[in-house]
């Protein structure tokens, strides 16, 4: 539940950056960071759900405190940090088309 609330807060900031501030100046990077964080939180919940519902994964980490669960979450976090940095660097300049 906490990740859902946090995701909504981050998405509100991203929406403000896009539609109210039109990605001007620092709002461009704020938008990218917020979008990546929101997506990460959704994938975080996906991994939790997978370890709860997929029999093979549940056998590896039945209480979600075992190393396979921690490793999976760490890999997802590292992937999103790398993708977020790359996105923030590449999304610096450009034309913004908002409908």
- Collapse the DSSP code of 95 into the 3-class scheme (helix H, G, I; strand E, B; otherwise coil) and give the result: coil
> Which pLDDT score, from 0 to 100, does residue 2 have?
87
> Which pLDDT score, from 0 to 100, does residue 98 have?
59
Under the banding of pLDDT at 50, 70 and 90, the label for residue 95 is low
Global pTM reads 0.85
> Which pLDDT score, from 0 to 100, does residue 90 have?
85
Under the banding of pLDDT at 50, 70 and 90, the label for residue 91 is confident
Report, as an integer, the average pLDDT of 35-61. 94
How much is the mean pLDDT over the chain?
A: 90
């Amino acid at each position: 539940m906490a990740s859902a609330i946090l995701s909504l807060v981050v998405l509100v900031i991203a929406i403000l950056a896009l539609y109210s501030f039109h990605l001007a100046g620092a709002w461009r990077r704020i938008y990218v960071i917020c979008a990546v964080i929101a997506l990460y939180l959704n994938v975080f919940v996906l991994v939790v759900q997978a370890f709860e519902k997929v029999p093979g994964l549940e056998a590896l980490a039945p209480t979600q405190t075992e190393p396979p669960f921690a490793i999976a979450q760490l890999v997802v976090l590292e992937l999103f940090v790398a993708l977020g940095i790359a996105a923030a660097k590449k999304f610096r300049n450009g034309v913004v088309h908002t409908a």
